[in-house]
Chains A and B, each alone.
Chain A
Amino acid sequence: MSEPQLVVTDLHVAYGPIKALRGVTLHANEGQTVAVLGANGSGKTTLLRAISNMLARSQGSVRINGADTAGVPAHRLVREGLLHVPEGRGTIGRLSVRENLRLAYDLRPTRQSFEAALELVFARFPRMSERLGQLAGSLSGGEQQMLTLARAIVNRPRLLLVDEPSLGLSPVMVDEAFAVLREFQTSGMTILIVEQNVRKTLSFAHEGYILRQGQIVASGSGAELLRDPAILSHYLGAS
């Protein structure tokens, strides 16, 4: 392996005069799960949006699979295997569940038929087969999260960015979402996850970074960070 799949170097992003990211450096090796933790407003969402080129960077570089992504349109990054699941899931509410999955399928048509891809989804999420004709907007929050993750089954990304997958979900659905992410992890998918649910996230991430006011203030393996209550309580206010 020449270089990690995702390499972020000295990344700066500003919203006008407000500096949201101030020199973030991190990397994720292929197959690794990397967590970025931080309080509200620490720049986590901005970091993901900058990596997926939804936001322009003012300084620094992002390299995915060895190529600098500067100037590559965001939709093309998606076509090349980056799946960014934003806060609020990113499903299209006025399209049916089937159409939402079809959008994912159309991105990189594989040799497998759409129907076969749907079967894979049903195998993991049996409930999706009943919901197929429904508008995505009519699903519950948990079901929408499942739909979002089902997109990664229909069209397997090389790099998955997930923004707060547990937000607004019931405890049961949170467990379910993490179970699915763990399966993706086991299958060798590279995952960059941003979360407030510190313990759950660190207990399955290989590496963790703590983000505070747009800067990385601590990093280490998930286990190391979990064992260091000082870091956790100081930066996250976690119990």
Chain B
Amino acid sequence: MIAEQIVNGVVLGSMYALVALGFTLVFGVLDKLNFALSELFMLGGFVVIASVGLGAPLWLAGILVLVVCGLLGLVVEFVSFRKFTSADAQVTAALSSLAVGLIMIDLVQKTWGGEPVSVPVPIEWRRANVAFFGMQIQVMKIVILAVTLVLMGVLHWLISRTAMGRNIRAVAESPTFATLLGIDVKRVNQQTFFIASALAGAGGLMFSLRNGIASSDIGFTFGLKALAIMAIGGMGDLRGAVLGGILVGVIESLAIQFGFGKLGEIIVWALMILVLLARPGGLFGAAHTTEQRA
């Protein structure tokens, strides 16, 4: 039973990790929080519902989630971040992105109503199990883990091996020096927002597939936990976001297993407070260095 809960925890944690990766990518490059990512996560499930409703097969719906959420990320960048360059921007841009997220919730509720909407996945898909070391594991969970791993692998490759990733890392360290090296910082920002938003949307896609529903009110809590995970893992640290996400997912699942129930949530917040007290830079990364943007 404990082993099964650990598997559940890893599945949950991988979804946290996808959203936390989005937060930490944007933070790494801009030193700003993009709260709209919480609602792009929420939107992931609804893009699936809309795509399948229009007749798309599930695999295509999955790709559409990445594209639609990525494009919405570009809108968020333009509306809430592009012009925010003053000293107050760390706060004002974050607030603006929060407002954009609230508008997304409103629009979803206008379209689908306030109640959870079921995701059109055949019930036998969600019920299918495979035996694995004596455990019964839902095939859906394996699919979720596999897709998440692929996405993380692609992200790692993009960031560490491609010219785009090199540019993203250069801008994350110093927008000024990056510009003097001929890098178009605006374009790098857009690329970062697209990737981060697509990842958040993918997290929402996985969440809706696992639960069989999409709900307009899940973004806020889930997003806050992803933020806590980013802090636990180290702001701007990609590896920290993944490891932190899995750590928190497993702790939460075990807390439920041992009968703490809702207390599992409190454990997450207590963990964040303790980690930040002991290691303000997060568990894994070196402290994120910020440059004075001149």
Binding site for B on A (CB under 8 A): 52, 54, 73-76, 78-79, 83-86, 90-95, 99, 102-104, 106-107, 151
How far does the Cβ of B168 sit from chain A's closest Cβ, in whole Å?
Answer: 11
* Total inter-chain residue pairs, C-beta < 8 Å: 58
B155-190 Cβ-contact flags toward A at 8 Å (1 or 0): 000000001001101101110111111111100000
Q: B181 near A90 (CB under 8 angstroms)?
A: yes
- Can you give 18 A-B contacts (C-beta < 8 A)? A54-B176, A74-B179, A75-B179, A75-B183, A78-B179, A78-B180, A79-B182, A85-B180, A90-B181, A92-B173, A92-B174, A92-B177, A94-B169, A94-B172, A95-B173, A102-B166, A106-B163, A107-B181
* Candidates A86, A99, A106, A107; contact of B177 at CB < 8 Å: A86
* Candidates B172, B174, B183, B185; contact of A103 at CB < 8 Å: B183
Instruction: Please name all residues of chain B whose beta carbon is closer than 8 Å to the beta carbon of A86 when the two chains form the complex.
Output: 176-177, 180
Q: In whole angstroms, how far apart are the Cα atoms of A69 and B194 in the complex?
A: 31
Instruction: Please name all residues of chain B whose beta carbon is closer than 8 Å to the beta carbon of A95 when the two chains form the complex.
Output: 166, 169-170, 173
Q: In whole angstroms, how far apart are the Cα atoms of A180 and B234 in the complex?
A: 41
How far does the Cβ of A131 sit from chain B's closest Cβ, in whole Å?
Answer: 18
Q: In whole angstroms, how far apart are the Cα atoms of A236 and B261 in the complex?
A: 73
Q: In whole angstroms, how far apart are the Cα atoms of A78 and B179 in the complex?
A: 8
Instruction: Please name all residues of chain A whose beta carbon is closer than 8 Å to the beta carbon of B183 when the two chains form the complex.
Output: 75, 103
Instruction: Please name all residues of chain A whose beta carbon is closer than 8 Å to the beta carbon of B169 when the two chains form the complex.
Output: 92, 94-95
How far does the Cβ of A143 sit from chain B's closest Cβ, in whole Å?
Answer: 17
Enumerate the 4 nearest inter-chain pairs by beta-carbon distance, A residue then B residue, closest first: A78-B182, A107-B182, A90-B177, A92-B170
Instruction: Please name all residues of chain A whose beta carbon is closer than 8 Å to the beta carbon of B178 when the two chains form the complex.
Output: 92
* Candidates B166, B176, B180; contact of A99 at CB < 8 Å: B166
Instruction: Please name all residues of chain B whose beta carbon is closer than 8 Å to the beta carbon of A106 when the two chains form the complex.
Output: 163, 166
**How many residues from B make CB contacts under 8 Å with A?**
18
Q: B180 near A52 (CB under 8 angstroms)?
A: yes
How far does the Cβ of A121 sit from chain B's closest Cβ, in whole Å?
Answer: 16
Scoring B167, B169, B178, B179 by chain A CB atoms within 10 A of each residue's CB, the highest score goes to: B179
Q: A93 near B173 (CB under 8 angstroms)?
A: yes
B49-93 Cβ-contact flags toward A at 8 Å (1 or 0): 000000000000000000000000000000000000000000000
Residue on B with the closest CB to A161? B180
Q: In whole angstroms, how far apart are the Cα atoms of A104 and B177 in the complex?
A: 12
Q: In whole angstroms, how far apart are the Cα atoms of A94 and B178 in the complex?
A: 12
Q: In whole angstroms, how far apart are the Cα atoms of A103 and B185 in the complex?
A: 14
Q: B182 near A75 (CB under 8 angstroms)?
A: yes
Q: A54 near B179 (CB under 8 angstroms)?
A: yes
Residue on B with the closest CB to A136? B173
Instruction: Please name all residues of chain A whose beta carbon is closer than 8 Å to the beta carbon of B177 when the two chains form the complex.
Output: 86, 90-92
Considering the complex, which residues of chain B in the window 180-239 have a beta carbon less than 8 Å from any beta carbon of chain A?
180-185
With A74-B179, A74-B180 known, 17 other A-B pairs at CB within 8 A are A54-B179, A73-B184, A75-B183, A75-B184, A75-B185, A78-B181, A78-B182, A90-B180, A90-B181, A92-B174, A93-B173, A94-B172, A95-B166, A99-B166, A102-B163, A103-B183, A151-B181
How far does the Cβ of A19 sit from chain B's closest Cβ, in whole Å?
Answer: 18
Q: A95-B169, A106-B163 are in contact. Are A54 and B180 (CB under 8 A)?
A: yes
Instruction: Please name all residues of chain B whose beta carbon is closer than 8 Å to the beta carbon of A91 when the two chains form the complex.
Output: 177
Q: In whole angstroms, how far apart are the Cα atoms of A63 and B106 in the complex?
A: 51
Q: In whole angstroms, how far apart are the Cα atoms of A52 and B180 in the complex?
A: 8
How far does the Cβ of B15 sit from chain A's closest Cβ, in whole Å?
Answer: 29
How far does the Cβ of B181 sit from chain A's closest Cβ, in whole Å?
Answer: 5
Residue on B with the closest CB to A80? B182
Residue on B with the closest CB to A85? B180
Instruction: Please name all residues of chain B whose beta carbon is closer than 8 Å to the beta carbon of A84 when the two chains form the complex.
Output: 180
Instruction: Please name all residues of chain B whose beta carbon is closer than 8 Å to the beta carbon of A73 when the two chains form the complex.
Output: 184
Instruction: Please name all residues of chain A whose beta carbon is closer than 8 Å to the beta carbon of B173 when the two chains form the complex.
Output: 92-95
Q: In whole angstroms, how far apart are the Cα atoms of A151 and B174 in the complex?
A: 17
